[in-house]
Amino acid sequence: MAVKPHLNLIVTGHIDNGKSTTMGHFLMDLGVVDDRTIAAHAAESEKTGKGDTFKYAWVMDNIKDERERGITIDLAFQKFETPKYFFTLIDAPGHRDFIKNMITGASEADAAILVLSAKEGETDTAIAAGGQAREHAFLLKTLGVGQIIVAINKMDAVEYKEAAYKAAKEKGEKLVRSVGYKLENVPFIPVSGWKGDNLVKKSENMPWYTGKTLIQAFDDFTVAEKPIGKPLRVPIQDVYTITGVGTVPVGRVETGIMKAGQKIIVMPSGALGEIKSIETHHTEMPTAEAGDNIGFNLRGIEKKDIKRGDVLGTPDAPPKVAKEFKAQIIVIHHPTAIAPGYTPVMHCHTSQVAATVTEFLQRINPATGAVEEENPKFLKVGDAAIVKIRPVRPTCIETFQEFPEMGRFALRDMGATIAAGIVKEITEEYKP
């Protein structure tokens, strides 16, 4: 039995457009979640006064605190299979303060569903400036998620009328086009997350719609080639010291191939060593490749030379370390505006470091990239810009063009994600 290719699928959309309900019902129709679980949720739903409507969403919102608030907080991981693929579903939270999850989530996503609503007014809020659907669509595009499906939800609430679908679809098309997706590659599907229309089974309530169901559309996604031909990059998540074994770092191979016996370098320290052994889930393996989560034992590297946020590579093509870099950012959330000199915390792969946005070079149109203003004095929510960033200490980072996995980042401050961005070029490199 050949193993099906795996895809990470992220679900996004404005908070009340019903994405958890849609995906919860989808998983139930697929038989991933049983009716008993749903029935228990429905009973509890009655008690909390939310009535019946939240019961499917509970499949995704299985965290207690979320139940009481009726919103999705954490990234709930669910697995399901289609005839062609094996999917991990990442339900991205729709609330403002959860965008960092979305960035760490989106950067791991191969494809996305954007859930909009067919109900009058609901999609308008979602796609307006500052609306979550607009923001998520921009982020997905900026962070390199190339494949997207738009589900127009709540068709049951508009009596399955084609006119309501068309009106919402037109708004959705405008949105995905403005962000830079090509419309011919973006399927639009009318669904009801509540009633189950067009999720797994073809709806009988919309004879006017002749397209695919959600599950059929999922099989039209394509799997990107694993970046195994690129130089090795392994951002370190944690480093353990195991008695009798030594230093054991843990991380995910983002690009390239790692082999036992290979000579390696750890940046930014520049320490040289050799891979003694590699294991995943307590099973030893001779090689690991892009996408594998592994632990490995190093020879010649001391614990002080390697820590979370460092990146392991090979001496012939070592990971880049930046003192300063040029980036394209989009401002997602800030109470007022940001000015040059602003120093939030930069989250990039496994590293977290304070970083100063030293210069605003250009404010650009987020969709087209056209320059709208040279050297702007400040940036506010919704603005996209080319800026220079200087981390407080040299940090491993790559250009997005060469290593998308290593070239995207979030800027966070006051518990919220202020901006998301990608690295355009390293303007000042650090050599150990």
Beta-strand relationship, 311-313 and 384-391: unpaired
Yes or no: say if 93 and 73 are a contact pair by the CB < 8 Å rule: yes
Query: Is 349 marked as binding a ligand?
Result: no
Query: Is 219 marked as binding a ligand?
Result: no
Query: Is 313 marked as binding a ligand?
Result: no
Yes or no: say if 192 and 220 are a contact pair by the CB < 8 Å rule: no
* 6-219 and 321-429, same CATH topology: no
Query: Is 14 marked as binding a ligand?
Result: yes
Q: Options 2.30.140.10, 1.10.3110.10, 2.40.30.10, 3.40.710.10; which CATH number does 321-429 get?
A: 2.40.30.10
- Could you list the pLDDT tens digit for every one of the 432 residues in the chain? 457 888 888 888 776 677 777 877 787 787 766 666 656 655 555 555 454 455 555 445 554 444 444 444 333 446 788 999 988 776 555 444 445 555 555 456 789 999 899 988 887 877 776 667 777 787 788 777 889 999 999 999 999 999 999 999 999 998 888 878 899 999 999 999 888 899 999 999 999 999 999 999 999 999 878 889 999 999 998 898 877 778 889 988 999 999 999 999 999 999 999 999 998 877 889 999 987 888 999 999 988 899 999 999 999 999 999 999 999 998 877 889 999 999 999 988 889 999 999 999 999 987 677 899 999 999 998 889 999 999 999 999 999 999 988 998 889 888 777 888 889 999 999 988
Q: Which pair of tokens denotes residue 326?
A: 């040029």
Query: Is 18 marked as binding a ligand?
Result: yes
Class of CATH domain 233-313: mainly beta
Query: Is 83 marked as binding a ligand?
Result: no
Query: Is 156 marked as binding a ligand?
Result: yes
Query: Is 292 marked as binding a ligand?
Result: no
**6-219 in CATH: which number?**
3.40.50.300
Express each pLDDT in 326-355 by its tens digit: 999 988 778 899 999 999 999 888 899 999
Query: Is 95 marked as binding a ligand?
Result: yes
Query: Is 154 marked as binding a ligand?
Result: yes
Yes or no: say if 271 and 302 are a contact pair by the CB < 8 Å rule: yes
Query: Is 303 marked as binding a ligand?
Result: no
Query: Is 91 marked as binding a ligand?
Result: yes
Domain borders along the chain are 6-219, 233-313, 321-429
Express each pLDDT in 148-206 by its tens digit: 999 999 999 999 999 999 999 999 998 888 878 899 999 999 999 888 899 999 999 99
Whether the model pTM is above 0.75: no
Query: Is 263 marked as binding a ligand?
Result: no
